[in-house]
Amino acid sequence: MQAARHVVVALSGGVDSAVAALLLRRRGYQVTGVFMKNWDMLDEHGVCTADRDCEDAYRVCQILDIPFHQVSYVKEYWNDVFSDFLSEYEKGRTPNPDIVCNKHIKFSCFFHYAVDNLGADAVATGHYARTSLEDEEVFQQKHMRRPEGLFRNRFEVRNAVKLLQAADSFKDQTFFLSQVSQDALRRTLFPLGGLTKDFVKKIAAENRLHHVLQKKESMGICFVGKRNFENFILQYLQPRPGKFISIEDNKVLGTHKGWFLYTLGQRAKIGGLREPWYVVEKDGTKGDVFVAPRTDHPALYRDLLRTSRVHWIAEEPPTALVRDKMMECHFRFRHQMALVCRFLQRG
């Protein structure tokens, strides 16, 4: 008789990962829950939110009768995620720490811990996403021998695992998984990929998981929490006061504490002005932020975007792009933004 497949689930203390663990247990797998502590943060009442989430994750394991482990990646998170976050902001760019966290922490540190330390056949998370592999194909990856060197690269490209959108298009989280490696994707299960959020909540309610069902869904950047974003950033980066300038007539409209605090397209809160103004350009040398009135102002729109590094989930660019130097694709730069059809040209 074949031993039960061992799946290690990343438990956040929320409803999605709890239901993911429950569904895997129902499939007959040997399930282990792991809580990752990535950030030391106190809320407005002086309580560490990570400790509270850890307790909730532990309760999930008790209810499901599965083993529980806790690991700390506070140091790794600081070095690989938060330091990168500050560095990018200082350069005037707006990074997405959730994407970087998934790449370096969940699907690298946690992935290797689950496989190497806990002997996992596969890992799982509560993300709303899917891959092109069925469960059994994921488990086979552990025993599949891959060629070395040049032939390994050809093998990986020919047999690349695809990251697919979730059935619930509103909750789809593939945007946040867009830089996960092939190695990790090959051995990851997404039990919620075919479900809607409402159905996940229904499953939780029917299976004594009320303590996670009642929690508010985490939104925004985890290490900022409910605090004012500008005040938080200025604890780590030196203020660089500058002016808000109208793109229409170069009139000075107000002042700010740092040009790097603003994202192109973002609404600029300018004291004393009733009508909204939006960020069009930033001058890092002078520290000025140029703004335009109305969301439909022509200065806010672009028909060209340049990028340097590209992370191909299949590890190699699509054949059409290599052959024709151009391909049609769908594009988004923000979670839940509608996909836009664009042409991608290779430089």
Q: Hey, which residues are catalytic here? A: 101, 222
Contacts of the segment 112-115: beta carbons below 8 A, 24+ positions apart = 113/34, 113/71, 114/8, 114/32, 114/34, 115/187
253 token code pair: 């409209």
Specify burial of residue 65 (Cβ count, 10 A radius: 0-12, 13-18, 19+).
exposed
| 213 touches 15 (CB < 8 A) | yes
Q: Which helix (H) or strand (E) holds 131?
A: strand 130-131
Q: Give the count of beta carbons closer than 10 Å to the beta carbon of residue 303.
A: 5
252 vs 117: CA distance, rounded Å: 59
C-alpha pair distances (Å), 79 with each of 177, 191, 229, 298: 20, 30, 20, 40
Pick from 54, 49, 19, 16: which is nearest to 35 by CA? 54
Pick from 132, 111, 131: which is nearest to 120 by CA? 111
Q: What share of the chain is helix, strand, coil (3-state, %, to 5)?
A: 35, 20, 45
3 state SS of 327:
strand
